[in-house]
Amino acid sequence: MMKIVHRAETRGRSCNNWLRSYHTFSCDDYYDAERINFGALRVLNDNRIAPGMGFSIHPHKNMEIVTIPLKGELQHGDSKKVHSVIGANDVQVISAGTGIFHSETNGSKINPVEFLQIWIMPRERNVHPNYQSCNLSDLKTENGVTLIASPDEMAPMSLLQDAWISVYSGVENETLQYQLNQSHNGVYLFLIDGEVLVGDVLLKKRDGMGLSEVNNFEATVVKDAHLLLVEVPM
């Protein structure tokens, strides 16, 4: 097993009067030659947008973009004429393909919005852009794990990559058992909240950990936990 640990306080940071963004991997003005990506996982940003503010219309191309709101409401609009508001129990996937323009703004004039945004490099380039969304409460959960996106029909949303994205919720002393879907993949864990023990590594809120050259792993919940799992080709 190969592992890499990214503590929350070591992440890059972009801040202004309306945005607070923490970067697990190099993004925007943050650059670290040793933190470009984890396999096909290119970006994992932890964002907070002030009320009534947000990212104006901007382009993306040839990237799988997964957005997971944690608090508040995120308002989406794009060049495919899709307009939506996603909240703390929703997930959105955009396959940017040949190119798409979109905006992301706080849907509230009063409360901030907090969300994770994940970019995954696709195995197919220059495809027709596509938008998907779902509500987590509608999905099946097994042993605390909810699969939200995959390359096959096992999840409600599809990815143009051999990648599986799941979220896990567990209480103290529970054990997460995860079996990778493909032998050449690795899995990146991002702890949204709580504490979990993976081997001899204790992960705390907003810590990240990449595991590769492994077929499965176990994690023990030390403090009620909410965990993101991103399995990607290495």
Same fold for the pair 12-135 and 138-233:
yes
Question: 140-176: per-residue pLDDT in tens?
Answer: 888 999 999 999 988 999 999 999 999 999 999 999 9
Interatomic CA distance for residues 177 and 230, integer angstroms: 15
Residue 137: predicted pLDDT? 86
Let me know if domain 12-135 sits in CATH 3.50.50.60: no
Residue with tokens 């567990």: 170
Residue 165: closest CA among 197, 190, 195: 190
Percent of the chain topping pLDDT 70: 100
Question: 77-131: per-residue pLDDT in tens?
Answer: 888 778 889 999 999 999 999 999 989 999 899 999 999 999 999 999 999 999 9
Let me know if domain 138-233 sits in CATH 1.10.20.140: no
Is-contact 190 144, C-beta < 8 A?
no
Q: What is the DSSP string of 43-86?
A: EEEEEEE-TT-EEEEEEE-S-EEEEEEEES-EEEEETTS-EEEE
Residue 153: predicted pLDDT? 85
Alpha helices in 112-181 (DSSP H): none
Q: Is the pTM of this model over 0.85?
A: yes
Map out the domains of the chain as residue ranges. 12-135, 138-233
